[in-house]
Amino acid sequence: MINKINLINWRSHKDTTLDFAKGTNVFVGIMGSGKSSVLDALCYGFYGKFPKSDRREIKLSDIIRFGEKKSQVKVWFSVGDDNYLVVREVGSNVAELYIIKGDNLKLIQKDKNRVTKAIISLLGTDYSLFTRAIYSEQNNMDYFLNLAPGKRKEELDRLLGIDKFNTALSNTHTVINKLESRLKDIALRYSKDDMKQLKSNMAQVNGEIQTIKDKIGKLEEEKEKMNVKIKSDMETFKQIEDKKKKFENLKNRLSVVQGKIENLTSQVERIKFDPVMYEKLKSDYEKLKKTISKLKGEHTNHVKTQKEKFGRISEFKEKIKRLESVKNEKQKLEEHIFQLTNGKTIDEINKEIASFEKRIQDMKSDMFNKNEKIKELKKMMAELKPGMAKCPLCGSELNDAHIKKLTTERNDEIKKLNKDIENINVELAKAVNTLNDLKKKKATVEQENAIIKNINKEISSLQVKHEYVAELENEYETVSKKVTQLENEITENENREKELLSQLKDFDYGKKITESLNKEKNEYEKIKQEISILNYNETEYMEWYEKIKSFNNEIEKIMIELKGLRDVLNEKNNLLKTYNSEYALLNKMEQIAKEYNEKIMELKKFRNAMNDTVVELRNHIINALNVAVEELWPHVYPYKDYDGIQIVATEKDYNFMIHVKNNEWVGMEQIVSGGERMCAALVFRIALAIVLTPELSWLVLDEPTHNLDTEAVDLMSHMLEEKIPSIVNQTFVITHDESLLNHEYNRVYLFKRDKENEGPTQVERIR
């Protein structure tokens, strides 16, 4: 049972709760009032999706009521004696399944996928079966009747689960075809005659290999005997050969040494080395080096003195130059001070400043007194009022003329005082400006006098005697001449040093050549003695050489023959490997062909069994549907002209047949009217629900009266009211046909909505 549903912010529903009863539950309302949204929400509550969202005709985000962030669906349902609540939200990840125990809720599952799996397990029906067998979408009750023959078979097979068997049959047939194709490929590459020929070839090659191995063995024995025979002779020949190499090496060395002696002798004769002269040159060279070192020392000291003198002269000249600059600066400052003061002293300027400060103070005091006088006169004038009997100052008798005269006199006096104050202000401003100028001049003079004082100190420190500078310049000139003289002497001695060094190098070279000549002569005698001791005989060497050469030629012939036999052996072995590989491949193909034949036989048996299973399963389900249809038809169809309908399965289609009373079975499309077709579609829908979802016994019909005439609508209403509740446990009907309100259904809701102003759905329970 589906007991209750609550929709919050779901499409046009702001907060709608509907209670459901056993039997027929009807939702009536105009188009767009929110009726179908209830069934969409019911499907979403169970499976997390509904047909329009699954086909992507609508986005889940579009479900949320305008201006809200999320929507929520709650569905209360019962399975057996247990009651459950499922909660899902759009716009968040909330998905929860509770079991209801009295007034308590216990969470048994959460997460979208886990909740869906749990509900499928409870209901025994998945989303696909629910939307095909139970949930008839709007204007789609006769969906299966309207399909083209091939498409109807495909859709019904998928609904009944037979499509999986058809897919398995197709896949099996594909595998059989592939295996048979591979068998044909193997047959093109394999034959028993080829295997017999390969065996013969392999036996022949094995025989040839053994013959070659025997020949190689005999030659190896012969070669070994010759190697033993030649081994002792080779040792003797090796000793003679080593002696020959030493002899040739000594002869070559002797020839080289002789060439060196000849070359060195000619050089010694040309140079004529004199040992006495060589020693004298060495002595002169050492003395000259000491002289040059002494001169360079003196030169370094004089250059140092020269730099010191030059530095002192430069320092004094900079002081003299700075002294002139400072004196000029002092003269400019003194001239500037004279221009500022017109020759006045600081004391005279201070007296002027004091005089102006006193004058300014007197003017301010005078101006203050005059202002006070004005205030006093104004106060007196304020006390003079018409009708006064006595003067407030002197107490004399007053009349109006007298008051007027006093007022005029006082006003004139105030004007005069204001004029005086104005003149004082002008004079005061001039005096202040003059005072400020004097103060600025005083500050400037004091500042520049301080600078002059510092300049005087600097002049005192910069005083230099010109006579001392001249004396330094004379000393610098003397030192510079001495430096030049020493440089000339150093250059002259260094040139002499180079000449002596060149002569010494020549003598050194002559000495080395003489020593080398003596060394080579000693080497020459030594080599001659070694040759004599070696006692090498060329004839003896040649006899042994020819003897060994003869042995080597015989062994080489054996080696060449062995190499040829081994090459042939390798070729035969490679050929045998090729034969073995080909034989193994053919043998493998034979095994594969045998396995393929066995698999093909098994798959064909499987295919035939599967085909029989499909036929049996289809007949079983169709028979079950026909039994249900046969029982349902009299309860749903109120007339006697058609006493039964059935489904007939053919190879290409499922045909809907109707039985004309006292006549034969004919195709339904040929004779039935709209109302009769509606009855047949309804019966088929109920039969599908009973056969495929026997545990649920639910039926959901969205706008089943669409395109039906009045008679057919009345017939449908009568069936929903009286017939269907006795067959299906719970039916949900959505319609805009308000004529259904006239019938006694188990639960009826009227849906209303102000669509023009985007108002929320309003639901009223009629029954």
DSSP string, 729-750: SEEEEEES-GGGGGS--SEEEE
Residues 6+ apart with CB under 8 A from 403: 384, 385, 386, 388
CB 44 within 8 A of CB 73: yes
Query: Which pTM value belongs to this model?
Result: 0.47
Which segment of 28-42, 48-62, 422-436, 528-542 scores lowest on mean pLDDT?
A: 528-542
Q: Locate tokens 């309302």: which residue? A: 29
Q: Is the pLDDT of residue 2 over 90?
A: yes
Phi, psi (rounded to 5 degrees) for 696 = -85, -50
Share of the chain residues as helix, strand and coil, in percent rounded to the nearest 5: 70, 15, 15
Instruction: Identify the bridge partners of residue 646 per DSSP, sorted by sequence position.
Output: 657
CB 627 within 8 A of CB 227: no
**Secondary structure (3-state) at 758:** coil
For strand 730-735 and strand 23-29, is the pairing parallel, antiparallel, or unpaired? parallel
State mean pLDDT over 399-419.
86
**Secondary structure (3-state) at 693:** coil
CB 678 within 8 A of CB 141: yes
- Helix intervals (H) in 462-534: 466-534
Distances in Å between the Cα of 549 and the Cα atoms of 213, 219, 225, 237, 313 are: 29, 20, 17, 11, 101
pLDDT digits (tens, 9 = 90+) for 269-324: 776 666 777 778 788 888 888 888 888 898 899 889 888 888 887 877 787 787 78
Q: Rounded to whole angstroms, how far apart are CA atoms 642 and 44?
A: 39
Q: Is the pLDDT of residue 596 over 70?
A: yes
Q: Which residue has the higher pLDDT, 209 or 45?
A: 45
**Secondary structure (3-state) at 91:** coil
DSSP state string for 366-382: HHHHHHHHHHHHHHHHH
Q: Is the pLDDT of residue 757 over 80?
A: yes
pLDDT at 634: 79
Residues 6+ apart with CB under 8 A from 309: 472, 475, 476, 479
- Exposed (0-12), middle (13-18) or buried (19+): which is 439, by Cβ within 10 Å? middle
Token representation of residue 119: 């509900």
Q: Rounded to whole angstroms, how far apart are CA atoms 46 and 115?
A: 8
% pLDDT > 70, the chain: 94
CB 306 within 8 A of CB 483: yes
- Helix intervals (H) in 342-399: 346-383
State mean pLDDT over 528-555.
82
For strand 135-136 and strand 654-660, is the pairing parallel, antiparallel, or unpaired? unpaired
- Four-residue CA torsion sign, 227, 232, 238, 241: negative
C-alpha dihedral (365, 370, 372, 374), degrees to nearest 10: -170
% pLDDT > 90, the chain: 19
How would you label 305-327 residue by residue, b for 16+ Cβ within 10 Å and e otherwise? bbeebeebbeebeeeeeebeebe
- Four-residue CA torsion sign, 64, 66, 68, 73: negative
pLDDT at 605: 92
pLDDT at 691: 84
Q: Rounded to whole angstroms, how far apart are CA atoms 242 and 515?
A: 34
Task: Map 642-679 to HEC letters.
Answer: EEEEEEEECCCCEEEEEEECCCCEEEHHHHCCHHHHHH
CB 40 within 8 A of CB 13: no
C-alpha count within 13 angstroms, C-beta hemisphere, residue 485: 8
Residues 6+ apart with CB under 8 A from 568: 212
Tell me what the pLDDT averaged over the chain comes to.
Answer: 84
Token representation of residue 518: 């003596």
CB 90 within 8 A of CB 48: no
State mean pLDDT over 368-377.
89
Say how many C-beta atoms besides its own lie within 10 A of residue 330's C-beta: 19
Q: Which helix (H) or strand (E) holds 19?
A: strand 13-19
pLDDT digits (tens, 9 = 90+) for 451-471: 888 888 877 777 666 667 778
State mean pLDDT over 184-200.
77
pLDDT digits (tens, 9 = 90+) for 73-108: 999 999 999 999 999 999 988 999 999 998 899 999
CATH class of 2-144+694-765: alpha beta
pLDDT digits (tens, 9 = 90+) for 508-540: 777 787 878 888 888 888 888 888 888 878 888
pLDDT at 292: 86
Say how many C-beta atoms besides its own lie within 10 A of residue 514's C-beta: 16
CB 138 within 8 A of CB 702: yes
Q: Is the pLDDT of residue 53 over 70?
A: yes
**Would you say the CATH fold of 342-465 matches that of 2-144+694-765?**
no
Fold of 342-465: Helix Hairpins (1.10.287)
The letter for the amino acid at 652 is K
pLDDT at 39: 92
pLDDT at 139: 58
pLDDT digits (tens, 9 = 90+) for 130-139: 887 788 776 5
CB 694 within 8 A of CB 134: no
Phi, psi (rounded to 5 degrees) for 643 = -100, 10
How would you label 736-764 residue by residue, b for 16+ Cβ within 10 Å and e otherwise? bbeebeebebbbbbbbebeeeeeebbbbe
pLDDT at 751: 94
pLDDT at 465: 60
Token representation of residue 83: 């009651």
Q: Which of 43-47, 122-126, 589-593 has the highest mean pLDDT?
A: 43-47
**90, 84, 158: which is closest to 121 by C-alpha?**
84
pLDDT at 90: 94
State mean pLDDT over 394-421.
81
**702, 675, 698: which is closest to 688 by C-alpha?**
698
pLDDT at 529: 86
Distances in Å between the Cα of 386 and the Cα atoms of 156, 382, 389, 406 are: 126, 11, 9, 12
Distances in Å between the Cα of 624 and the Cα atoms of 123, 617, 621 are: 21, 10, 5
DSSP state string for 416-430: HHHHHHHHHHHHHHH
CB 226 within 8 A of CB 555: yes
pLDDT digits (tens, 9 = 90+) for 718-752: 888 888 888 888 999 998 888 877 888 999 999 99
Which segment of 147-161, 345-359, 517-531, 536-550 scores lowest on mean pLDDT?
A: 147-161
Q: Rounded to whole angstroms, how far apart are CA atoms 583 and 681?
A: 69
pLDDT at 392: 56
pLDDT band at 397 (very low <50, low <70, confident <90, very high): low
Kindly report the CA angle at 702 between 659 and 674, in degrees rounded to 5? 35
Domain boundaries, the chain: 2-144+694-765, 342-465
E-state strands within 69-193: 71-79, 82-90, 95-101, 104-110, 135-136
E-state strands within 154-267: none
**625, 611, 619, 654: which is closest to 154 by C-alpha?**
654
CB 109 within 8 A of CB 118: yes
Q: Which of 113-127, 183-197, 545-559 has the highest mean pLDDT?
A: 113-127
Q: What is the CA radius of gyration of the chain?
A: 69
Q: Is the pLDDT of residue 154 over 90?
A: no
State mean pLDDT over 45-72.
91
Q: Rounded to whole angstroms, how far apart are CA atoms 208 and 569?
A: 9
Q: Is 398 left (phi over 0), alpha (psi -120 to 50) or beta?
A: beta
Distances in Å between the Cα of 487 and the Cα atoms of 16, 309, 311, 321 are: 122, 19, 21, 34
pLDDT at 117: 96
Q: Rounded to whole angstroms, how far apart are CA atoms 87 and 118?
A: 13
